[in-house]
Chains A and B, each alone.
Chain A
Amino acid sequence: MSSPDVPTRGPARSGPYVITGILLTIAIVVPLFVPAYSVDEPRWVGMPFFYWYQMMWIPITSALVGVSYWLVIKEDRRRRESVRGLTSPGEER
């Protein structure tokens, strides 16, 4: 295209993205590895392991995604400030 490609963000540092990638991979792969939890015992308040273990992964995934959010937002902000100078009104609410 002929209109200039004005960068919206500066260059990325790989660190936060690599860590985020690892956290999210854990959150996807572990809950899908059925052989690890396809058993009845130990039961917890009467629930077979199969059921409570999977439910337990809901808050864990939520936390992993939450940490990823924090890492990515911090890096995102830094990249934007590096191209915009000090004008950064784009704070997330």
Chain B
Amino acid sequence: MSGMALPLAAPDRPVNVVALTIVIFLFVLVAVLGFVAARWRRGEETGLHSLDEWGLGGRGFGTWVTWFLLGGDLYTAYTFVAVPAAMWATGAVTGFFAVPYTIVLYPIVFLLMSRLWSVSHRHGFVTPADFIGGRYGSRSLTLAVAITGIVATMPYIALQLVGIKAVLTVLGLGSSENVLLTDLPLIIAFVVLAAYTYTSGLRAPALIAVVKDLLIYLAVIVAVIYLPIKFGGWDPIFNSAEAKLGATNPATGKPTGVFIPGAASYSAYWTLALGSALALFMYPHSITGVLATKSRNTIRKNAAVLPLYSLMLGLLALLGYAAIFAGTVPVDLNGAINPQLVVPQLFLDQFPAWFAGIALAAIAIGALVPAAIMSIAAANLFTRNIYVDLIRPDATPRQEAHVSKIASLVVKFGALVFVIAMDQSAAINMQLLGGIWILQTFPAIVAGLYTRWFHRWALFGGWAAGITYGTIAAYNVVNPVTKAHFGGSIAAIPGTDTQVYIAVTAFAINLIVAAGLSLLFHAMKLPDGEDITRNSDYGADENDPKVAQIEREHPLGESGASTF
């Protein structure tokens, strides 16, 4: 493309008035919904003045609300932008792995999450780090899990802004000369988001998710029916993709991408899918969605019906190939090619402006739902596991909710600065690292759901080893064209040629270190922390008494155990 030759010379895009009007209308609609949500299923006596109410929506979401909430939470705007972008740019290994990833995710969720729900319900845990604290009685391990969660979530929020930005750019808002004008719509969108998250808590994204998901389904279903008919079937679409991805990239001398993975890519493909699936429900925002459900088996029922979103994601991924056939040219404000713009641009090129407006609004609103949930989850982690654990152990529920609301504002502001002040690739690199890091909390959380065999300090050692290896390995991946570090998430297993997802290797190292040190520490008879959970907690359901209630009825118990 000639775009590279004329940086800054690209003329500003014309504003698409019809599409922009529809996007603004739908945005205002969901903003109103966000504020109204504060009154939805409100607890009469407490209002929203506790983390259970503000941060977990009253812990009462049933199957339907959870389906929309988790669908909006897990399948983020960035996913909708980045997956087809990866398909368009480099094909199956970097893009289509999202399909097996979101397939194997659900059996894993089915196996693990109801136990976490039960023990958290029984003890009033709000965050995964709360559970670690209750299970292992180790402040350092709790803090490690909390900080990993916060650090991994921050760039994820920033990437949601990248999703909104892609939509705004394509709509013609923004110019290459005036930076403030370019970012102003983004800032307004985020201030509104911050305001209704502050007032309504988790209820706001839950309600907005319904609108957003219906819009996304509409846009994707219409696109995957209409575009192949317009282009003469899927055959020419796949053939043009095969031709583009098979062509030699002059910068590297290798094929541009992968159309169908060869034997050398098998391990990269399946480890990307498995590692991402294991990591997803370690993210605080996913666990927030789980803990907000009404009963033990709500999440299991959802594991059977959430795959409908995976089907939609798979079809959306194929739109990346449709854009190859259509010859979509995603030119950014500075005149360079930006793959992230490919799906918004495709909708604008191929559909009437009003329908493109609906599709673009769906993507932009799709960014608001996960951004809200992520900031709530990170704020809850800060409140429960840093503020209360380290600074104010005697904080009342009302104070907790207050601190969490403020923290959610800080987190969103941080993400905004991240995207505006720093290069977009910084957010993408950090998100790549975040995925590697968050998987390192898996052994502590998941092993803890089943056994206390692992020693708390051994789990800490495994976590540190996994984070260290993962960070170094990711740094050492160099982009063959730009020579920049953090060039990808695939590296060879040390000592072999097998290319795998770095997070999975780090996870294996983590497990080996944790197991080895556990054997050692047990042999040395190092003190094991206090475990406030009991076997019966892991099977408890909504009608079983909570720990606080048991303690009241059997006042022999030590009061210290019920502080969570």
A54-B100 contact given A8-B539, A66-B304, CB 8 Å threshold: yes
B103 beta carbon closer than 8 Å to chain A: yes
B99 lies within 8 A of A3 (CB): no
A1-B558 contact given A8-B540, A59-B307, A66-B304, CB 8 Å threshold: yes
Once the chains are docked, how many angstroms separate the CA of A64 from the CA of B557?
43
Once the chains are docked, how many angstroms separate the CA of A34 from the CA of B237?
23
Q: How large is the interface on A (under 10, 10 to 19, 20 to 34, 35 or more residues)?
A: 35 or more
Of A6, A8, A58, A69, which is within 8 A of B99 by CB? A58
B557 lies within 8 A of A1 (CB): yes
A61 lies within 8 A of B297 (CB): no
Which A-chain residue is minimally distant from B294 (CB atoms)?
A93
B542 lies within 8 A of A46 (CB): no
B543 beta carbon closer than 8 Å to chain A: yes
B383 beta carbon closer than 8 Å to chain A: no
B233 lies within 8 A of A31 (CB): no
B211 beta carbon closer than 8 Å to chain A: no
**Chain B 505-554 interface residues, beta-carbon cutoff 8 Å to A:** 532, 534-537, 539-545, 550-551, 554
B540 lies within 8 A of A3 (CB): no
Once the chains are docked, how many angstroms separate the CA of A9 from the CA of B534?
13
A93 lies within 8 A of B62 (CB): yes
Which A-chain residue is minimally distant from B237 (CB atoms)?
A46
A53 CB, min distance to chain B CBs, angstroms: 10
Once the chains are docked, how many angstroms separate the CA of A8 from the CA of B534?
11
Once the chains are docked, how many angstroms separate the CA of A4 from the CA of B532?
12
Residues of B within 8 A of A1 (CB): 532, 534, 557-558, 561
Which A-chain residue is minimally distant from B274 (CB atoms)?
A32
Which B-chain residue is minimally distant from A5 (CB atoms)?
B534
**Chain B 327-343 interface residues, beta-carbon cutoff 8 Å to A:** none
A32-B238 contact given A3-B557, A58-B314, A65-B303, CB 8 Å threshold: no
B107 lies within 8 A of A24 (CB): yes
Once the chains are docked, how many angstroms separate the CA of A25 from the CA of B234?
33
Which A-chain residue is minimally distant from B313 (CB atoms)?
A58
Residues of B within 8 A of A3 (CB): 550-551, 554, 556-557, 561
Once the chains are docked, how many angstroms separate the CA of A39 from the CA of B558?
63
A8-B541 contact given A34-B261, A48-B260, CB 8 Å threshold: yes
**Chain B 251-305 interface residues, beta-carbon cutoff 8 Å to A:** 259-263, 266, 269-270, 273-274, 294-295, 297-298, 300-301, 303-305
B399 beta carbon closer than 8 Å to chain A: no
Q: How large is the interface on B (under 10, 10 to 19, 20 to 34, 35 or more residues)?
A: 35 or more
Of A24, A31, A50, A55, which is within 8 A of B110 by CB? A24
B65 CB, min distance to chain A CBs, angstroms: 12
A31-B103 contact given A1-B557, A89-B543, CB 8 Å threshold: yes
Of A32, A65, A80, which is within 8 A of B270 by CB? A32
Once the chains are docked, how many angstroms separate the CA of A90 from the CA of B543?
6
A65-B63 contact given A34-B269, A34-B270, A54-B314, CB 8 Å threshold: no
**Chain A 13-40 interface residues, beta-carbon cutoff 8 Å to B:** 24-25, 27-28, 31-35, 38-40
B186 beta carbon closer than 8 Å to chain A: no
Mask, B104-118, CB within 8 Å of A = 1, is 101110110000000
A45 lies within 8 A of B100 (CB): no
Once the chains are docked, how many angstroms separate the CA of A24 from the CA of B112?
12
Of B308, B311, B556, which is within 8 A of A55 by CB? B311
A65-B304 contact given A38-B266, A39-B260, A43-B235, CB 8 Å threshold: yes
Of A33, A40, A51, which is within 8 A of B318 by CB? A51
B199 beta carbon closer than 8 Å to chain A: no
B295 lies within 8 A of A55 (CB): no
Residues of B within 8 A of A8 (CB): 536-537, 539-541, 544
A61-B103 contact given A2-B556, A48-B260, A69-B110, CB 8 Å threshold: yes
B558 lies within 8 A of A58 (CB): no
Once the chains are docked, how many angstroms separate the CA of A73 from the CA of B301?
10
Once the chains are docked, how many angstroms separate the CA of A72 from the CA of B297?
10
Once the chains are docked, how many angstroms separate the CA of A31 from the CA of B307?
14
Of A6, A31, A69, which is within 8 A of B301 by CB? A69
Of A43, A65, A72, which is within 8 A of B106 by CB? A65
**Chain A 55-77 interface residues, beta-carbon cutoff 8 Å to B:** 55, 57-59, 61-66, 68-69, 72-73, 76
A32 lies within 8 A of B297 (CB): no
**7 A-B pairs in the complex with CB atoms less than 8 angstroms apart:** A43-B235, A58-B102, A58-B314, A62-B308, A63-B304, A72-B300, A76-B297
Seed contacts A34-B270, A62-B307; 14 additional CB < 8 Å A-B pairs: A4-B554, A5-B536, A32-B270, A32-B274, A45-B234, A46-B233, A54-B100, A58-B103, A58-B311, A62-B308, A65-B300, A65-B303, A80-B541, A93-B62
For the complex of A and B, the 8 pairs showing the least CB-CB separation, nearest first, are A46-B234, A46-B235, A3-B557, A24-B107, A66-B304, A62-B307, A32-B270, A34-B266
